Structure 1
Amino acid sequence: MFFIFILGLITFKNGTPQVGQAEITEILKTYWGLLVVFIILAFLAIFIPLSGLCFCCCRCYGNCGARSQPCDKKRDHCRKILQGTLLIILGTALLFCVVFAFASNQRLQDGIDKLPENLQNGKDDTNTFIKSTKSQANHLLVTNYQEFSSLFISTIDTMRKVNKDLLTTLQPCDISECVNIKNNMSQLQINIDFNKLPDVSPIINKMNELNISNLPQVAQEGKQKLKDIEEQIKYKLDDTLKDVVKQLNEAGDTIKDNLNNITTTITEIQEEINETADLIIRETNTYIRNYGQYRYYGGLAISCILLLVTICIALGLICGVCGKIPDGYKNNCCNKSVGSQFLICAVMLMFILGLLLALITIVAFSLGMASDRVVCYPLRNPENSTIINVIDEYLDADVTLKQALADCYQNKSIYIVLKLEKQFDIDTIHEKFNISSLLDRMNSLLEGIIGKDFTILSPDNEKMLETLKTFDPSINFDQFQDELRQNFINLSLDETSKKLEELVITIDENPALTNVKTGVQLSIRHINMYDEKLLVPMKELANEMFVIAQQLDTDLKMNSSSFSEAIDKLLIEIKQAEDILQQGTAILQTVATECGEMVKDQVNSYLDRISNVTKNELGQCGPLNVVINSTLTATCDRIVLPWNGFWVSLFLSLVLFVPTIIVSVKLSTLYQKYKPLGEHVETEYLYDTFADHRDYIPLNSPAGKRGKKKVKKSKKYEDHPQNTGREVVTREYATGSHLPDTRYADRAPK
């Protein structure tokens, strides 16, 4: 039946079987080898038992080597050599088939015993592959997506910092230095009056006349304008960027949903594989436990039958080659006649068991070839298998078994093998990231944020800075430094106090100076108090004043050679900042476009990676291919192949039976031939032969001269009775002797 499916005579369309037509020549051309083997087996199954029946009938009538004949030394010896050599060759070939049968049976049993373990290993490897595939898919579509999402949102945050980048560019426009002019000048009013220091009162009065108290307000106004630009950019960008993040989250949800579809499909396949594999393993264990031994012993019995035939042939050859030719009055246990009986025994075994072996071979041949052509060959060559085509037509599924196996053997991803694009088209993720339209909308929103007439300073404030440029704070800072570095008193109060303490010690020696001692001690206290309360604070204030003077000189010049030059630089920088801000829209759009291109590159790079990994790397079928090959090895190479080897050995044995039977029968006929009775026989035997007739004839010549003469021999012919079927042979008689009496020629020896 399986030949019909293999040939493609039966196909399925919409689940309905349809019978096709095929030419006989096409069938013969494709499967002539199998048909020849089947025809030979069928012929042998009929021919061997019929031949055995005919052979038995022939033996019953006394033919086919049933009767012994006398040996012909010349012709029979050559026949024995030729036929014995031929039988040795046939017996050796038959012995090879026997060894092959034993080996195939043992290897088949080993494969069957290890089949459950191999199937369990294949199931475990498949589960491991499926788990790793699901883990890889989760890592690719969830973990990597979260990393991409974090990076993408970080990139989006950089777009919110466009205004900060602009402020960094406009940093020189800050006019806080002007504010510091008043603050630093006001610090010139110190609490300690140093008469020798330069008088800065005229300079301070002139600064008051310039009305620079509005400088902090001017700086605050410029800062507020820039802050307004920042808020406006942030307000207009936030909505667009929120939409981008929203689309990002929607795409993530889509990926997770599709991932769930993939994992669900893979899990269903895994559960179905586990359920089927568990059932197969369980039934296989049951079969092996209950019936495996019977199959093994059956194969062993068949092999032993072939071995028995081979042993009979071997013993027949040994006795036939090494034994003596039987004679009519002496019987040896291992002569050629015994070899003949062994050969006839082998022939009878071949006739009796030929039909059984032929039927067993036909069954084994059918099962073995069906397993190979239906299971092994299609799985190893799915592209050229008609069985796979029939299964695909019958199932009519989206995923064809033929294409799935071919893709799996090429180590393609499970996404392609199972055609998961119908459940989750990875290319549709690109549609979820419509970044271009969002970026275009963002550019339109940025347009008009900064007008072309934008200014940081009002005309009045700018005029005030122009007036401030004419101010020249000509303070003699060098004189400040020289005076402040000098000591405030000519003597050291600390040293004076020590000297007065020494004076007190001296006065203690003179009682008359007690009042002076009191005055000196009071002076010491005053000196220490002045040093602590007045002189030390004055020094600290002087040092602070010195630092302020240095800082004021630096601040007024603002990293320039003079205060006037510093104001000029400040006005120029403010003007440049205004020019840049007036072109702010174009700058913002350029920056936004660059950021957008960077975002698109990130998105496209991520999507391309997702698509490439999913299509080409996710769940590559290499491990599953190894599982399939290991399963095929466990079943086809270790079970089906030894099974086919077993029936091949039986088939060759049956083929060898035919020439072996013919040669064995002919050789057994030659081995059972005996020596004919000659002239020189024992006296007792001859006396026993004629004992019943009391006719004693002396066999020896009387003693005398005649007995000493050389006796000449002459050849005479011995006639056999016609009913014996024997040929006329020549015998030698002594010259002068009487011809033998032929009355007892047909009498068998005792």
Structure 2
Amino acid sequence: MKDLVQSFLNTFQPKPLPKDLILQVANDFEQVTADPDFIKQALQYEVGFLVCAAIGILYILLMPIVGFFLMCCRCCGNCGGEMNQKQKSSIHCHRRALYWSVFITTAIILAGSICMFKSNEALSVSVDQSTAEVNKSLDNLNTFLTFVPQQIEHVMNESFKTIDVVTENLNTIGATLGTEIQDRFRRTFDIALLSVRRLDQETVNTSNHLNELKTTLARLQTSMNLLETNVTSLQNRINQTISNPACNKCELLNPELQKLTLTVDFSLTSSSLSDLQSALDDVIKADLKSKIKEGEDNFNSIPQRVTNETKDAVQSIKQQLDEIQSQISQLTSDIPLSGLTYVSDTLLQIQREFSTITPTVEKAEHIRWGIFLALCCAVLLVVVCNILGLVLGPLGLRPNADPTERSCTANCGGLFLMMGTGFTFIFCWLLMVLVLLLFLICGNAYTLICRPWDNGNLLKFIDTPGLIPGFELGPALQLETNLTFNDVYSDCEKNEPLWSTLHLNEFIDLEDLLNVSKYTEEMQKYIENANISLPDLTLLSPEIQKQLSNFSAKAKDFNVTMVTQQIDHISKINFNSTADKLERLASSQTNPGVVTELRDEAIKLRQIQTNIETNIFPQMEKLNSSIVYLQSLGENISAAVGKALSTLETAQDFLSTNTTQIVGTESREFLDCQMSYFITYADWVNLTITQQVGRCGPVAEAVDTAEMVLCTQVVESLNAFWFSLGWCLIFFIPSVIFSVKLAKYYRRMEHSDMSDNHISMNIIPRANMKSY
């Protein structure tokens, strides 16, 4: 039905939108309405509608007149009013032709009536849906207008977060920049620190073992002194015994007795240890642990030192951050958000007013639906009468029956056909008035609004300068580009952002606004002028290093030869051989007293030997192991001191050479890291503002919804209704003609016409011809 109606309207009005005529009306309505040329042009544009209107007016005027004359004629016995039907041989053929003619026209009228019912219901549904669609569209549009400032505010909030992060990093510059500087020095410093710590451990070990050696020497010397006293006393007793005259051949024991000497002096070894002890004491007094702790404290103080020395620079950079923040905040003031707020408030007011009138609209629509339903029923009444006539007429008709004797059923069929004709004349001209009004209003609405709206000409026409005062988007937004409503709609139909749709780049220099790199050089100067100087990281002073070198030399040159010689001398002592000789000498004596003394002295010697083996030898073994360990420690100390001094020298050279470069590099990297936050934020803002903020798809959807509600749902439904009704009214004319003629074939006649069947013909004889 839609295509059929549009094809009908396009046939009678193929001309495009009359832009010039509309502009003349918009510029000066009173003047152009009095201008004959304008009226002539308007009538020429509306000639198709005028022709159709003229036909409708003729219909309105003629149908009641024709009905009145038909009624008068029939009352006078004319126009089928004579209740007498001549019986002809072709009567059945005529009746069938009229029957199918009425049937076809009735079917066409019924189809139009069905279309009326459907269009009426479609219009009712459309109006019900239109309220929801309009509310939904207004909600979406208002949400869009409300969400745009929220998106801009979100962009601003992200800038505040970025500045807060950078400010926090500046406040903790010691923990960030200082830690980075520490990490660059940590490996070299830790290696030097580890070597000194190992050297300290070796020094402590050396001190402990040196003290243990001295203690062992003292104990061994005490034991040896006691042993020497006992041996000397026993030697004197043996000397007295063998000097006794009663002792036989005892003088032979004098050479053996001379071997009973035990003179060991470990004090000579203490003098060789004094130099090592002195060098060790110097190292211990240097307190390497405190030097290590001092170095660690100095190294760990780098973050705090960075914080203190960059205090002024940080304050200056914070001022720059405030300037950057104010620069970015300018974006809010540059974008005309106040206009969006005004439009949003206007839409809310419109939505509230729409909600207020919605019940009235629904009530009016209910009344309209009832009126249109009654009109549909009026048309349907004619259809029903025709259908009843078409059904009852043939059902009760007997073809060979006399017209005066037709059945009641057939007569009722004829009456129903006449009733349909009567209802037609009663309603048709009134219905044609409605058709004419709807045709002129909705037909022009389609050709002047909906059709141009659908092909895009209406939106282009709206952009015509001067058509709507103050509706020029370009000057209103202070744009140099001629921005049109059609351009905005096209972009919004693609769901483009407001940045490209409204050409905001013409009065907002986003690149310059978000160019934070221009602050980088100045901030770098602030950091460089801070002149960050690191604390003294020298672990060991030259004096301590000299002491360590001396200690290394003493440990390496430690002489233990005398000690080992005396240990070897003591280990060779064996008093058991002398005791054996005393016992043999005692066995050769005759004097019991001498025998007893020699044997006692032999036992004493064995006891002394046992004491040496059980007491002196273990101490000597311990002393020997301590000496061996000290010798190995001496080698370790020499290597540890050499490595410590080497790593310290390397570390000191590294610190002296690279400190300035490292501090400068790390400072620039720290600042670059902070600026990267802004660069990332600027890129994000640029992308968000130009491609994400304010995607205006809801605007195009609102325009499309307005078109759908006005044209697709309302105008198309009304056009379908008047077209269906007009369709029915046009076919009422042949329906009346055929119904009136067909009704006479079913109605019961008052007079019988039997001339065709009962006239008797007298046969006239032929004339006789005389023969000549």
- TM-score past 0.5 threshold: yes
Query: Closer, same or farther in 2 for the Cα pair 1:627/1:677, shift >3 Å?
Result: closer
Asked if 2 retains the 8 angstrom alpha-carbon contact of 1:408 and 1:621, the reply is yes
| Alignment partners' CA distance in 2, 1:209 and 1:292 | 113
| Equivalent residue number for residue 93 of structure 1 | 108
- The alignment partner of 1:194 has SS state of helix
- Distance, in Å, in 2 between the alignment partners of 1:285 and 1:255 is 49
Per-residue deviation, residues 438-495 of structure 1 (Å, max 9, x unmatched) = 355358648x8789xx99879x96587467535424189999xxxxxxxxxxxxxxxx
- 2:428 pairs with 1:350: no
Task: Map Cα deviations across residues 301-353 of structure 1 (whole Å, 9 max, x no partner).
Answer: 211221122223223333443443785654643436x5455444433443443
Distance 2:286 2:752 in 1: 165
Deviations 1:99-144 (A, max 9, x none): 22223223333443555455445445555555665555544441x4
1:92: how far off? 1.0
Q: Give distance in 2, aligned partners of 1:221 and 1:331.
A: 138
1:164 aligns with 2:186: no
1:431 aligns with one of 512, 515, 521:
515
CA distance in 2, matches of 1:461, 1:329: 152
Contact 1:12–1:394 under 8 Å retained in 2:
no
Q: Rate the CA distance shift 1:462–1:113 in 2: closer, same or farther, 3 A.
A: same
Partner deviation per Cα, 1:254-296 (whole Å, 9 max, x = no partner) = 555645867655443332211111112212323433x444322
Specify the alignment match of 2:377 in structure 1. 304
For residues 442 and 383 of structure 1, what CA distance do their matches in structure 2 show?
62
In structure 1, the partner of 2:684 is 609
Q: Report which of the two structures shows the higher radius of gyration computed on alpha carbons.
A: 2
The yes-or-no answer on 1:71 pairing with 2:146 is no
Give the match for residue 46 of structure 1.
58
Aligned to 1:194: 215
Paired amino acid for 2:358? T
Provide the alpha-carbon RMSD of the alignment: 5.5
Q: Distance in 2 between matches of 1:442 and 1:608?
A: 25
Richer in helix (by share):
2
State how far apart, in whole Å, the 1-side matches of 2:654 and 2:283 are.
25
1:365 is displaced (CA, Å) by 2.9
* 1:441 has 2:521 as partner: no
661 and 588 in structure 1: CA distance in 2 versus 1, 3 angstrom threshold: farther
Matched, 1:9 2:20: yes
> 1:469 aligned to 534, 543, 549, which one?
549
Alignment partner, residue 492 of structure 2: 408
Could you tell me which residue of structure 1 aligns to residue 389 of structure 2? 316
The answer to whether the Cα contact below 8 Å between 2:85 and 2:752 also exists between their aligned partners in 1 is no
State the distance in 1 between where 2:296 and 2:744 align. Answer: 132
User: What is the aligned partner in structure 1 of residue 619 from structure 2?
Assistant: none
Q: Given the alignment of the two structures, is residue 396 of structure 1 paired with residue 472 of structure 2, yes or no?
A: yes
Distance 1:417 1:355 in 2: 54
Quick one: distance in 2 between partners of 1:283 and 1:420?
38
Q: CA deviation at 1:655?
A: 2.7
Q: How many residues of Structure 1 are paired with residues of Structure 2 in the alignment? A: 604
Alpha-carbon distance in 1 for matches of 2:440, 2:358? 21
Retained in 1: the 8 A contact 2:404–2:752?
Answer: no
Residue by residue over 1:54-113, the C-alpha shift from the partner in whole angstroms, topping out at 9 and shown as x without a partner, is: 464366456543435533433332232223212211111111221222232233334435
Query: What is the TM-score of this pair, normalised by structure 1?
Result: 0.63
SS in 1 for 2:490: helix
Report if aligned partners of 1:182, 1:213 keep a CA contact under 8 Å in 2.
no
How far residue 635 of structure 1 moved from its aligned partner, in angstroms, is: 5.8
Cα gap change, 1:288 to 1:181, in 2 (>3 Å): closer
Secondary structure (helix, strand or coil) at the match of 2:85 reads coil
Q: CA deviation at 1:568?
A: 3.0
**3-state DSSP class of the match of 1:99?**
helix
1:644 is aligned to: 719
Superposition TM-score, scaled by structure 2 size: 0.62
> Alignment partner of 1:53: what SS?
helix
For the pair 1:112 / 2:127, whether they are aligned, the reply is: yes
Query: Is the partner of 2:760 in helix, strand or coil?
Result: strand
- Structure 2 vs 1, CA of residues 85 and 192 (structure 1 numbering), >3 Å: closer, same or farther? same
Report the identity percentage.
Answer: 18
Q: Does 1:365 align with 2:439?
A: yes
Whether contact under 8 Å (1:5, 1:386) holds in the other structure is no
Instruction: Report what 2:354 is aligned to.
Output: 280
Question: Which amino acid in structure 1 is aligned with residue 721 of structure 2?
Answer: F
CA distance in 2, matches of 1:432, 1:575: 40
- Greater RCO (Cα-Cα under 8 Å, separation 6 or more): 2
CA distance in 1, matches of 2:312, 2:447: 67
Cα displacement string for residues 153-194 of structure 1 (whole angstroms, at most 9, x for unaligned residues): 466544465543444365259679779979967976979982
Q: Which runs of 5+ in 2 are unaligned?
A: 1-12, 219-268, 478-482, 561-621, 765-772
Task: Tell me the amino acid that sits aligned with residue 409 of structure 1.
Answer: E
Structure 2: how far apart are the matches of 1:125 and 1:239?
52
Does structure 1 conserve the Cα–Cα contact (< 8 Å) formed by 2:316 and 2:526? no
Conserved? CA contact 1:258–1:423, under 8 Å: no
Q: Distance in 1 between matches of 2:72 and 2:656?
A: 135
Q: Which stretch has the larger CA shift, 215-224 or 630-639?
A: 215-224
Query: After alignment, is 598-607 or 416-425 more displaced?
Result: 416-425
Give the 3 Å change call, closer, same or farther, for CA 655–106 of structure 1 in structure 2: same
**Structure 2 counterpart of 1:509:** none
Residues 637 and 425 of structure 1: CA distance in aligned 2, closer, same or farther (over 3 Å): farther
Residues 35, 596 of structure 1: CA spacing in aligned structure 2 closer, same or farther, 3 A cutoff? farther
